[in-house]
Amino acid sequence: MAQTAGITQKLILLFLTTFLISQSSGAPQNINPSYSYAFTSCAKPIVRKEWRRLSVDERQSYTKAVLCLANPKKAASISEIGPGLRNRYDDFHGVHTLQTPNIHWVGHFILWHRYFIATFEKTLREVCNYRGAQPYWNWTIDVTSGRDMIEWPIFNNHSGFGGNGPYVDGDNPFDIPERSGGGCVPRGPFNYPDWVVHLGPGPSIDYNPRCLKRDFSRPIMNWVTPGLVHWVTNVTRYEDFAFRLENLPVFTSPNLHGAGHFGVGGALGEFGDVYASPGDPLFWVHHSTLDKIFWRWQQEDLPKRLFDVGGPVVPFDYSNQVGPNITLEFVIKLGKLAPEIPLRDIMNIRGGILCYDYEG
Ligand SMILES: *[C@@H]1O[C@H](CO)[C@@H](O)[C@H](O)[C@H]1NC(C)=O
Ligand SMILES: *[C@@H]1O[C@H](CO)[C@@H](O)[C@H](O)[C@H]1NC(C)=O
Ligand SMILES: *[C@@H]1O[C@H](CO)[C@@H](O)[C@H](O)[C@H]1NC(C)=O
Ligand SMILES: *[C@@H]1O[C@H](CO)[C@@H](O)[C@H](O)[C@H]1NC(C)=O
Ligand SMILES: [Cu+2]
């Protein structure tokens, strides 16, 4: 029954999309006319589901596939970034580390991460025989539930990513409020030594094997509200959406991207480390949610938004003191993990080189 409803929903979606495009075809605006809408090439997208919509088996097959990517016998390192990288998961971590100074607080933040996640999802499927799609984590449901973070399904010891680390004292340079952990995640698929973070902290790509730490901060997680999601999406231009999604890197002003990173990673956890955050596999479910919000924003006015990009090439250069804005021809790279592509190729999640969609 739920399956049928999902399919119906997708058909309606496809219909609406086609309808909007045919409506607009008389007077294209902000659309490059050389592009043909390539939905036909992606008739059967893989469908990314919310974590709790997966069965326990499906959740475990996802986390098992992630563990497989970190097993050098099953998924060898190919990135040639350095001797500190020992497996394919490290390659993803290392590519993010090397590019961290160029992919945050820029116009292409959400698009670079879209390509990064899609490549990760493809690798899970091709290298580790994972049959599903990359899941996403709708934090709004958990934050508004009022339940303790430790009880959220995503942090389940058995069917999730495990929970918080035990409390340990430590530096808290950003004054993360009510930090509550900081120690090694004790249970779940990503406890030590089942899961070993190799790179970091920060920009280091040296071999530095250690446990995954988490340091929950409920007040930061509470940044996520339906009102904040609305504020981010209640804009008509891409550059405004992109700016609001990241917002200023300050702890006095809430932002969706930071809520997940610092709500879970706090002061001492990997997830709060802007370079080393992929060391925590929550990275993928959190960033997929941002991508879903982006896609939903695009869909609200597809003719205008499918190919709308903007915002600075250089981090924080919102008034172009240093460099230009991104364009559809702006090229992004993932090292040896995937071909270099212009942003144009990944504007549509159901066309060109991408073929996935979101349920819910
Ligand atoms: C998260 O769930 C809420 C409540 O069901 C829903 O309104 C919202 O659109 C969802 N957000 C995302 C990103 O899926
Ligand atoms: C998960 O395991 C930790 C450590 O053993 C425990 O403190 C916590 O209560 C468990 N979480 C749940 C929801 O049972
Ligand atoms: C959404 O944008 C409109 C038009 O700019 C504005 O009037 C409205 O207050 C905004 N709503 C929110 C919740 O930001
Ligand atoms: C960058 O985009 C902004 C907003 O559209 C625009 O005002 C500005 O002129 C652009 N900067 C450059 C250098 O093109
Ligand atoms: Cu990032």
Q: How far apart are CA 224 and CA 228, in angstroms?
A: 6
Positive or negative, the Cα torsion across 321, 324, 326, 330? negative
The CB of 186 under 6 Å from ligand 2? The reply is yes
What is the distance in A from the centroid of ligand 2 to the CA of 188? 9
Q: How far apart are CA 182 and CA 185, in angstroms?
A: 9
Nearest to 293 by CA among 89, 23, 109: 109
| Exposed e or buried b per residue across 221-232, where buried means at least 16 C-beta atoms within 10 angstroms of its C-beta | bebbeeebbeeb
Pocket lining for ligand 4, CB < 6 angstroms:
239, 310, 320, 324-325
What is the distance in A from the centroid of ligand 3 to the CA of 230? 9
Nearest to 46 by CA among 349, 360, 352: 349
Q: How far apart are CA 280 and CA 269, in angstroms?
A: 9
CA atoms within a 13 Å half-sphere pointing along the CA-CB vector of 184 = 14
The CB of 230 under 6 Å from ligand 3? The reply is yes
Pocket lining for ligand 1, CB < 6 angstroms:
138, 140-141, 289, 292-293, 360
pTM reported for the whole predicted model = 0.90
Nearest CA to ligand 1 atom 14: 138
Q: What are phi and psi of 323, to 5 degrees?
A: -145, -175
Q: Which ligand is nearest to the CA of 234?
A: 3
Task: Find out whether 337 and 330 touch, Cβ atoms under 8 Å.
Answer: no
Nearest CA to ligand 3 atom 7: 234
Closest ligand 2 atom, residue 163 Cα: 1
Q: Quick one: tokens of 109?
A: 């933040």
Task: Find out whether 185 and 212 touch, Cβ atoms under 8 Å.
Answer: yes
Q: Which of 229, 232, 234, 297 gets mutated to test ligand 3 (max ligand atoms within 8 A of its CB)?
A: 234
Residues 5-44: tens digit of each pLDDT: 333 233 223 322 332 333 333 333 333 333 444 445 799 9
Q: How far apart are CA 89 and CA 120, in angstroms?
A: 9
Q: Which ligand is nearest to the CA of 290?
A: 1
Closest ligand 1 atom, residue 360 Cα: 14
The CB of 187 under 6 Å from ligand 2? The reply is yes
Residues 75-84: tens digit of each pLDDT: 999 999 999 9
- Angle made by CA atoms 278, 243, 347, in degrees to the nearest 5: 70
The DSSP code for 342 is E
> Residue 78: is it exposed, middle or buried by C-beta count within 10 angstroms (0-12/13-18/19+)?
middle
Closest ligand 1 atom, residue 144 Cα: 4
Q: What is the pLDDT along the chain (360 residues), one digit of tens a residue?
A: 333 333 323 322 332 233 233 333 333 333 333 344 444 579 999 999 999 999 999 999 999 999 999 999 999 999 999 999 999 999 999 999 999 999 999 999 999 999 999 999 999 999 999 999 999 999 999 999 999 999 999 999 999 999 999 999 999 999 999 999 999 999 999 999 999 999 999 999 999 999 999 999 999 999 999 999 999 999 999 999 999 999 999 999 999 999 999 999 999 999 999 999 999 999 999 999 999 999 999 999 999 999 999 999 999 999 999 999 999 999 999 999 999 999 999 999 999 899 999 999
What is the distance in A from the centroid of ligand 3 to the CA of 234? 6
The CB of 351 under 6 Å from ligand 2? The reply is no
Nearest CA to ligand 4 atom 13: 324
What is the distance in A from the centroid of ligand 1 to the CA of 288? 13
**Element housing 112 (H / E):** helix 109-128
Nearest to 102 by CA among 269, 317, 288, 259: 317
Q: Which ligand is nearest to the CA of 246?
A: 5
